[in-house]
């Protein structure tokens, strides 16, 4: 898929393609596109990190409420995915 994305459809299918001359401007354009792609990826990662921190903080507050944790236990919802549990509690468990 990466090869197709980079080189185009015809190359991915094995169909020969006309050789493209590499020029200074094409290299600069390619570099700028890659920089923008990576910049966008960093923005998305930062946004996801902020959301995760918000969720972890909210869970800490909710799980500090004994009535809420009793309700979760009664409903059989007293476990979290390991990744979240490790962030919410240092030892990784509700108990």
Question: pLDDT of 39-67, one tens digit each?
Answer: 999 999 999 999 999 999 999 999 899 99
Amino acid 85: pLDDT: 84
Tell me the three state secondary structure of residue 76: coil
Amino acid 38: pLDDT: 97
Tell me the three state secondary structure of residue 19: coil
**What is the biggest distance separating any 2 CA atoms in the chain, rounded to whole angstroms?**
69
For the ranges 17-21, 22-26, 70-74, 83-87, the one whose mean pLDDT is highest: 70-74
Query: What mean pLDDT, rounded, does the chain reach?
Result: 84
pLDDT at 94 over 70: no
Q: What CA–CA distance (Å, rounded) separates 31 from 52?
A: 31
Structure tokens at 62: 């909710």
């Amino acid at each position: 898929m990466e090869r197709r994305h980079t080189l185009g459809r015809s190359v991915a299918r094995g169909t020969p393609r006309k050789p493209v001359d590499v020029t200074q401007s094409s290299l600069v354009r390619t570099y700028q596109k890659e920089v923008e792609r990576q910049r966008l990826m960093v923005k998305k990662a930062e946004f996801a990190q902020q959301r995760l921190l918000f969720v972890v903080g909210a869970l800490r507050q909710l799980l500090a409420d004994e009535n809420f944790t009793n309700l979760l236990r009664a409903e059989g919802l007293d476990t979290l995915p390991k990744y979240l549990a490790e962030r919410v509690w240092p030892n990784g468990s509700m108990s």
